[in-house]
Amino acid sequence: MSFARLLRRRTVLPGLGLLASPVVARAQNPVRPSPSVESVSMVMPGDITYRGRLFKPLNKGAPSVVLVPDGWGLTPGFEAMGAALATEGILGLVVDMLGGKTARDPQEAEKLARGINADDAGEAVSAWYDWLRNRVEGSQRVAAFGFGPGGRWAVEGSLRKAAHGVTIWSTRIDTPPADLASLYEPSLIGHYSDHDTPSGAVIVAELEGRLRAANRTGYFFRYGARPFFYNPRSPDYDKLDAALAWRRTMTIYRRLWDLPQAG
C-alpha cells in the first residue's frame, strides 16, 4: 500500500479530530525506554492455570488492558503489542489462552482456536479483570483488546465485568443489545477487513444497529487488507494497516482516558 493511500484512509471521528498516521507519529517520537515485564499466572476453578505477560508503564495507577491473542497464541508479535501499551501509559496484560501452544500456520491457528471453550475463555478474561484491578500498578479502569476469535472471548469476558470498552479485530460477535448496554464508554471499537466473512461492511452494519439499540457508541474502521492483517505471524499481515489500526485505537483511548501523549 502506498503512503498516499494510507493518508487518504485516515478518518475523522466526532470530537476526536484527525487521527495521525503511524509513520508520522513514529518520526516525531524519540526513543522510549523499554517497559518492565513480568511473567504472571492465575489459577481458575478446576485447577486450570492461565498464564500471561504483564507489561508495566512507568506511571502507577494506570488503566489496564487485557490483550487476548487469536489462535496463533501468545507470540512475540502480541508481546510487542503489550509493550506498546506500556509505552502509552497503560498496564498491558497479554494472556495465553492456549496453554503455551503457538501455531505454525493458519490452519493450525484455526484448529487451536476451535479447541477453546468460549465460556471457559470468557470466564478467564473476566477473572483477569479482577486480577488487574488488584495490582498496585493499575487502576479500576480495565478494557480488553481481542484479535480474531480472541475478540469473542474478550467481549464475553468484558460483559461479565464493569468493562471500560472492548476493541476487536476481524471479529464477528452476536451479542444482543441488552448485554452490550453493560459496557462503559467507549463501548466498542472494531477493525475489519473487507475480506472478512461476512464482509466488514456487513459486520459493521449489524453491530451499529445493536449498539444504537443499547444506547452505546461504536467506532468502526474497515481495511482493504486480508482478515489477519494485524498479526505479524500471519501471511495476511499488512504492516501499514496494522499500524494504522493500532494508532486509531490508541488515539481514542488516549483522549477518553486522559493519557499523556506517548513518548
Residues of the chain with pLDDT under 70: 1-33, 185-186, 262-263
The pLDDT of residue 62 is 94
The pLDDT of residue 20 is 38
The pLDDT of residue 85 is 97
The pLDDT of residue 32 is 59
The pLDDT of residue 79 is 97
The pLDDT of residue 1 is 42
Residues 79-107: b if buried by 16+ CB within 10 A, e if exposed = bebbbbbbbbbbbbbbbbbbeeebbeebe
Q: What is the pTM of this model?
A: 0.86
